[in-house]
Structure formats: structure tokens, C-alpha cells
Amino acid sequence: MLKTFAKGGVHPPENKFSANKPIEVLPLPAKVSIPVSQHIGAPATILVAKGDKVKVGQLIAQSAGFVSANIHSSVSGTVESIDPVLDSSGYKRPAITIVVEGDEWEPTIDRSPELKRNIDADAQTIIKKIAEAGIVGLGGATFPSHVKLSVPAGKKADVLIINGVECEPYLTSDHRLMLEKGHELMVGIQLLMRALGVDKAMIGIENNKPDAIKYLTEIAKEYSGITVHALKVKYPQGGEKQLIKALINREVPSGGLPIDIGAVVHNVGTAYAVYEAVQKNKPLFERVVTVTGKNLPKPSNFLVRIGTPVSDLIAAAGGLPDDTAKVVNGGPMMGKAVTDITVPVTKGTSGIIVFPAAESKRKAESVCIRCAKCVSACPMGLEPYLLIRMSQRMMFEKMEHERVLDCMECGSCSFECPANLPLLDYIRLGKTEVNKIIRARKN
């Protein structure tokens, strides 16, 4: 029996159309718009002005606090404007727009393709380099990685967990990265292990990627302390808490962090970025993005410079099909529908999915028949049917008592609901209101 997490979970159709498409380098865009808030935490402080010349990899916005991240230019050229630009959130937010001129990289970046296996840096240096490179969680959460690696006093990590689950349907960027950059990934994991002071790392991969499991298991023998684990396919196994439960059978306490039970989780994309930052001195300014959809002519995996308009990716994948009615940034379960395809790719963009009209609109709601499918689906052991009723009646204090803040918004409840009820919409509303209540209580 393959390992998996115990409670809840669903199995949406996988639709991984681009699984066999090798990563292609997307041609340089004419212009990029790089938002200064691509991570969880404070927006970065802008360091450049209109008209400035910048190089690839140059720091253009500086981390503004402990929980924040540096931002580097992904192209060389001239800063055209520093104005709010529409991004995936649906709002216009501060961004640095650069007109591309050539492709001149910072000379400090090692552009040679050779694998650099020897690790010279010590833990402090590794964490410092990760912070300088502006690395954030590339699975989509975009939490600054150096913060996760700075273990608070009194706590100790004993295992590093590497998330190669990619449980979201459609997405294949992590899958391709594991197949094509296996050794770099392993060195990245060793860097993370040294930074944390652990001698054990476990890579969790769902069993729908047998080629990646086989390949990484094979090369892991060359690296000490790293093991690869096949997991039963079940959404949301890529959730930190679910992955830890599946691999080492520990439960992160409600309201707690993985470090509370000795674990730290990083995504495979993040581990690869760590390799590039520490071994190759390359800041995070490009990432692998899956561009896919049922009617898209050429579902693909592209290596994309941050700030490239999503429309460029769709054009390279064969162009937007005529029946498109929705474009999602991220996976179909947790991604955000964009208002316009000109929005830029950011550090958290793992995929772009175009949906045909027939799959874009929700079906009509009917009444709750109390079938309890939402309760069975919830990986956190919550009762969505109850939470939606409380939220509709504005009983937010009761929602707090029912642990609504444990909800990670995986969408399993709404996915399963035969009455098509907007369970997660109302739960989100409840979470927002409960957070307001908690803040008010503190003041």
C-alpha cells in the first residue's frame, strides 16, 4: 500500500496534458512588468527609477523586512515606468516595467551548464544567499524561503521534506523539473539540509509520475541522506500538513507550523532555485510554467522570465482557443482566475490553464441535501456544510470555534458538493471576518 494522508481528500481528473513536453526556453518578451509584491509579506522597496538601465539579475527592489523578498530584473533594458499594473490578484499593484534591450546578464552569474556538486558554503552563507536571491516558495504559496530556514530558538528540525507531489490537476512544471534537472535538484536539497542542520531529506512524489520516481530514486543513491517516496494519488497531498502526515505520520498542531513537529517543507522548484542561487550565484528571475488546457493547441512547459505577460505564453502554446472563457493562474483547484491575459508571470505562477466556455461557469446551485460529502472530503476534519450556514447567518464567532482558520482553501468541499454550493466562497468570507475579530481582540 502506498502512503498517503489519512483524512479526507478527493481525486479530480488529472488532465496532465503537458507531462511529456520537455521544458522549452520561452523567447524574450518585448517588455516585462515585475510586481514588487510577489511574495507573502511586505512589498519590496523599489531601488530603480524611470529611465534607469538594468541588467539581467540586477537587484531592482529590496526586501522590506524579515518576511519579504528581494526582486531582481529578469531582463536587460530600460525602466519604462514604475506604476501600478494589473496582476493576477485582479488589482493594479506597484510594478517595475522594463523595455527589453538585448540580454545582458550580471557578470557575477555563472551561466555555464556544468553541474556544481561541491558545497563550499556553510549554513549561514546558504541562508544569506537564498535571501539575497529573493527565493520564495515556488509551489505557489510564495512564502520567503529564508524565513522557513531560520529555525526559531528552542525548536529543531530533524527532517527536510521535499514536495514533488504536484497534486493539482493539469500542472506538470515540477514533474518536468524533476526529470530534467534531477542532479541540480539533489544538490539544492543538500544545500537546504546543510542550512537546516538535518541529515535526512525525503522527497514525496505522487504515483502518477513513475518516471520521476524511478529517475530520482536512481540518482538519490549518489547523495547521502536523500530518499524518494512514492505516494498514492490524492488531492491535496501537496498541502504541507498533508504531505508531512503522509510521509512521517506527524500532525502539525492546529494553528502551528511544520517546525513545531521538527519538519520543514520545500517545493522541488524552490530546491532547484536554491541550487542556482548558491552554486551559480543566480537570483530568482525565471521559473518553469506549465501552459495548458483541453483545447489549447500545444500544451507546454516553458522556462519564463518573471514579468512576462501571460499572453506571450499562451501565444507560444498555439494561441488562445476561440471557445476560451476563463484563464487561471495556478492549478484548477486553488488557482486564481485572471481578469485579463496581459497580467505578468510572477514567482508563484506554476501554471496557466485556459478553460473552454463549457467548463468556465459554475452550475446552478440547489439545496443542501446533507449528503456529508463535504465532511468526508475535508482534509482538515472540518464541517463545510455547517460553516457555510454559519457564514450565511454571520455567526463568525461560532465559525472560529469550529476552527474555520484551519481551512487551507483546498476546494475539496466545493469540488464534491452535488448541490454546487459555494462552500469555499462562504468559508473564505468567514475566515476574513474571523481574522478581523481576532485582530480587534488584540487591540
16 contacts another protein (rule: CB under 8 A) = no
Whether 384 and 423 have beta carbons less than 8 Å apart is answered as yes
Does 373 engage in binding with another protein (CB under 8 A)? Answer: yes
320 three-state secondary structure: coil
Q: Tell me the sheet residues that pair with 85.
A: 93
Query: Judged by CB under 8 A, does residue 395 bind another protein?
Result: no
Shortest Cβ 412–another protein spacing (Å): 8
Binding segment (CB under 8 A) for another protein, from list 196-204, 220-228, 301-309, 364-372: 364-372
Closer residue to another protein (CB): 18 or 279: 18
Q: Considering beta carbons, is residue 111 or 401 the nearer one to another protein?
A: 401
Q: Which is nearer to another protein, 120 or 322 (CB)?
A: 322
Among 372, 394, 437, 438, binds another protein (CB under 8 A): 372
What letter represents residue 225's amino acid? G
d(CA 338, CA 342): 9
The binding track of 298-337 with respect to another protein, each residue x by CB under 8 A or -, is: ----------------------x-x-xxxxx-x-xxxxxx
**Pick from 131, 126, 128, 125: which is nearest to 69 by CA?**
131
Asked if 415 is part of the footprint of another protein (rule: CB under 8 A), the reply reads yes
CB of 231 vs another protein, minimal distance in Å: 17
User: Residues 87, 400, 416, 433: which binds another protein (CB under 8 A)?
Assistant: 416
DSSP state of 94: E
Question: Kind of pairing, strands 351-356 and 286-292?
Answer: parallel
Short-list 266, 241, 262, CA closest to 156: 262
Q: Three-class SS of residue 239? A: coil
* Distance in Å, CB of 235 to another protein, minimum: 10
Binding residues for another protein restricted to 249-268, rule: CB under 8 A = 251-256
Q: Shortest approach of another protein to residue 165 CB, angstroms?
A: 17
Supply the minimum distance, in Å, between the C-beta of residue 428 and another protein.
7
Q: Which of 42, 375, 395, 405 binds another protein (CB under 8 A)?
A: 375
Decide: helix, strand or coil at residue 189. helix
Cell numbers representing residue 4 in the block: 498517503
135 contributes a contact to another protein by CB under 8 A: no
State the Cα–Cα distance between residues 227 and 161, nearest whole angstrom: 10
Cα(25)–Cα(180) distance, integer angstroms: 13
Cα 313 from chain centre: 18
Three-state SS string across 123-187, please? HHHHHHHHHHCCCECCCCCCCEHHHHHCCCCCCCCCEEEEECCCCCCCCCHHHHHHHHCHHHHHH
Which range, of 29-37, 38-46, 49-57, 406-414, touches another protein by CB under 8 A? 406-414
Each residue 225-244 as x (binds another protein by CB under 8 A) or -, in order, gives ----------------x---
Measured from the CB of residue 210, what is the shortest distance to another protein in angstroms?
24
